[in-house]
Structure 1
Amino acid sequence: MDGKSVGTISSWEILHWKVYVDGAANQRGSGIGLFLISPEGIAIEKSLRLGFSVTNNEAEYEALLQGMMMVQKLGGKAKEAFSDSKLVVGQVMGELEARDTRMQEYLGRVKHLQSDFQSFNLTHVSRSGNTHADSLATLATSSAHDLPRIILVEDLC
C-alpha cells in the first residue's frame, strides 16, 4: 500500500472518549462529577451542583446525561463511560428493567442521546475505581453558595 491509502484508512478511525461519572444526593443538596479523558489524553474535570431535588439514582443519571452531552458538544462520536451505579448501568445496558416512571424517563433520554454516537458503552466500576468523579460530585454538594468558583490544585514539593 502506498502512503495515501494508509492515511485514508486511518482517517476513518473513531476516537474514543473515556468518561467517568458520579452523582451525589444528600441533605446539603445534590451534584454530579464528570471526569472526561479526550482521545488525545487531555483530562477535563467538571463539578456541577444541581439546582433541583433528585434522588441518588437520579443524580447518577444526570451525571451520565451531562457527560454524554459534553462529549457530543466537543465533537466526540465514540464514548466509553464508567459509573459505580449498578442500577443505572444495568438499566442502560438492558440487564435491569426501569420500573419507576422517573427511571424510565431518564433511560429514554440516555437512549435518545446514545443514538447520536457511533460507538457507546457503559461499564460498571467499583467505587474505588471511580474516586475522581465521586470527589467532584461530593464537591458540588459541599457548598450552598451560588457563587462561581475556581479551584486551583497545586503540588507542593
Structure 2
Amino acid sequence: DEYPNDLETGTKVEGISDLTLDEWVNKNHEFDPYKEIEESELGMYCIHEENSPIPDTMQPEQKDENKVWKLFFDGSRSRQGAGGGAVLISPQGIKYYLAFRFQFSCSNNTAEYEALIHGLHWARKRGIKNLQVFGDSELIVNQVRGQHATKNDLLKSYKNRVWDLIEDFESFNIMSIPRKKNEAADRLAAVGATFDVVKNIIRGKTQPHIH
C-alpha cells in the first residue's frame, strides 16, 4: 500500500513519535541512514506537534467530509539528492506528516510537483472531499491555477496530472504562501533531500509520476 493508514499502523515508530517536528528534524543526526534501509515504496510517518492530540485509531472520514482539510507541500533539491514533504491538517487541527526521498533525477520544479501529487494522492486515499492546498512555489501554484503559461513539456504533463487529481475533490483551492509559512513541509522536504532512505522515517520513491 503506497499510502498506508498511519494511525492504524500505530503512532509510535522506533521510539521517536513523541517528538515534535522541530525536535525530530533537529535530532535526525542521531539516526544511522544505513540501518534497515528500505528502497521500495513511498512511506508515510506520523509525528505530532506539541499539544496536538493523536487518536489511537482512524475515525471515519465521513464525519468531516463537508469540512475543509489543509495540505502544505514542498519539494527540495540539493547536492545530496531530492526530496519532498507534505503536511495534512484535519478540520480539528490534527497534523500528519509525509517525508520521502526521490531516487531519480529531478529539478526543483519537478520535485515540487512530485510533492504536490503525492500529497493529493494521500488526501484522496483518506477520502477527503474538500481540500485547501498551500505551497511556496509561485510558479507551480500559478501553473496549477492556470494563471501562468506552462511552456515546458515536462511541467505541462505534471500540471495535467494535478488537474486530473483535482477532479476527485468536491471543492479545491490552491494558493501561494511565503516560505516561512510553509516551514514544516519545507523541513520535511529538506530532510528527504539530504538523508538516505530510512525505514519507517524516510522511504524512497524510485519512479517519477511523469516519465
SS of aligned partner of 2:168 = coil
2:121 partner SS: helix
Q: For residues 104-115 of structure 1, what are the structure 2 equivalents within 5 Å? A: 104-115=156-167
Alignment of 1:34-45 (within 5 A): 34-45=86-97
The aligned residue for residue 148 of structure 1 is: 199
Aligned residue in 2 for 1:125: 177
Deviation track 1:38-85 (CA, whole Å, cap 9, x = no partner) reads 123210011110111110000111111111110100010111000000
TM-score, L = length of structure 2: 0.63
Alpha-carbon distance change, 142 to 101 in structure 1, aligned in 2, over 3 angstroms = same
Verify the 8 A CA contact 2:86 2:97 in the aligned structure 1.
Answer: yes
The gaps in structure 2 that reach 5 residues or longer are 1-62, 203-211
Given candidates 113, 133, 137, the residue that maps to 1:61 is 113
**Which of residues 79, 82, 104 is equivalent to 1:30?**
82
Q: 1:13 to 1:54 in 2, by over 3 A?
A: closer
Identical-residue share of aligned pairs (%): 39
Shift of 1:149: 4.3
Give me the whole-angstrom Cα distance separating, in 1, the residues matched to 2:91 and 2:64.
14
What letter corresponds to residue 199 of structure 2 in structure 1? Answer: P
Structure 2 CA distance, aligned partners of 1:80 and 1:38? 11
Match of 1:94 in 2: 146
Q: Within 1, Cα distance between the matches of 2:130 and 2:141?
A: 17
Alignment partner of 2:73: what SS? strand
The CA distance in 2 between the partners of 1:128 and 1:114, in whole Å, is 26
Q: CA deviation at 1:150?
A: 4.1
Task: Report the structure, 1 or 2, having the larger strand content.
Answer: 1
CA distance, structure 1, for counterparts of residue 114 and residue 189 of structure 2: 11
1:82 to 118, 134, 152: 134
Task: State the 1:99 CA deviation.
Answer: 0.5
Q: How does the TM-score come out when normalised to structure 1?
A: 0.84
Aligned counterparts of 1:12 and 1:139: Cα–Cα separation in 2: 31
Q: Give the number of the structure whose alpha-carbon radius of gyration is greater.
A: 1
**Cα-Cα RMSD:** 1.7
User: Which structure shows the bigger proportion of residues in helix conformation?
Assistant: 1
In the other structure, the counterpart of 2:23 is none
Query: Measured at CA, do residues 26 and 72 of structure 1 come closer, stay the same or move farther in structure 2, by a change above 3 Å?
Result: same
| Count of paired positions | 140
Large movers: runs of 4+ above 2 Å: none
| Equivalent-residue separation in structure 2 for 1:28 and 1:15 (angstroms) | 39
